[in-house]
Amino acid sequence: MSFSHKVFLVGMPGVGKTYWGKKIADEYRMQFYDLDRWIETQEQNTIEEIFEMRGERGFRQIEHQRLIELIRHTSHNAVIACGGGTPCFHSNMRTMKLAGLVIYLESTIEQLVANIANDATRRPLLHATTNITDTLRTLMMARRPFYEEAHVILRNNDISVATFGQISGNV
């Protein structure tokens, strides 16, 4: 069994989009791309540096351009882990839905906080906050309507490699 289309993983920072993306790609012999790493490679700057130089608005413009470029670059047999804000700007969710299958990985705030606490990744929107829980709660309230436009919603307790296989068989 394999996916015959691009699979986009979306969700909050710390939900495990990159982790699950790699696992799915390995299991189903697909290419794996992390949109943030793609942006860093193409821009020759880290996400944090891009935020510092261009601000969030400038970053979102770059992100949109690089998303379209990555969609054109990849085969139909690819998993793309998106940044947490990717679906919320420049009609990116619509672009992804037209290009493939969008899966929203949903989690609780408590689980996100725990995952982020154990992750060394620098996250520009969370970097300066003194209360990560409140910041994540605010982000989730703003982003949830976009995430819920995904083709499939998987709650963190329901996520497994087998779950993705079941989705593949039903799509």
116-164 residue pLDDT tens: 887 766 677 777 778 889 999 999 999 999 999 999 999 987 888 888 7
Query: How do beta strands 31-34 and 78-81 pair?
Result: parallel
Q: Which residue has the tokens 């821009």?
A: 43
Closest of 155, 117, 150, 153 to residue 136, by C-alpha: 117
Residue 58 inside a domain? The answer is: yes
In a domain, 171, yes or no: no
Q: Which residues sit opposite 78 in a β-bridge?
A: 31
Answer yes or no: is 37 within a domain: yes
Domain limits at 62?
Answer: 6-166
User: Per-10-residue mean pLDDT for the chain, 171 residues long?
Assistant: 77 95 93 97 96 95 98 91 97 96 96 82 73 93 98 88 72 49
The verdict on residue 72 lying in a domain is yes
pLDDT at position 75, please? 78
Count up the domains in the chain and report the number: 1
Residue 1 lies in a domain: no
Q: How confident is the model at residue 62, as a pLDDT?
A: 98
pLDDT of residue 128: 72
Report the Cα–Cα distance between both ends of the chain, in Å, rounded: 12
In 3-state terms, what secondary structure has residue 30?
coil
Token pair 């495990």: residue: 16
Q: What are the structure tokens assigned to 15, written together?
A: 């939900």
pTM (predicted TM-score): 0.91
CB 80 within 8 A of CB 7: yes
**What pLDDT, on a 0 to 100 scale, did the predictor assign at position 21?**
96
Residue-level pLDDT at 1:
43
- What angle, 0 to 180 degrees and rounded to 10, lies between the N-to-C axes of helices 92-99 and 47-73? 30
Question: Which CATH number is 36's domain given?
Answer: 3.40.50.300
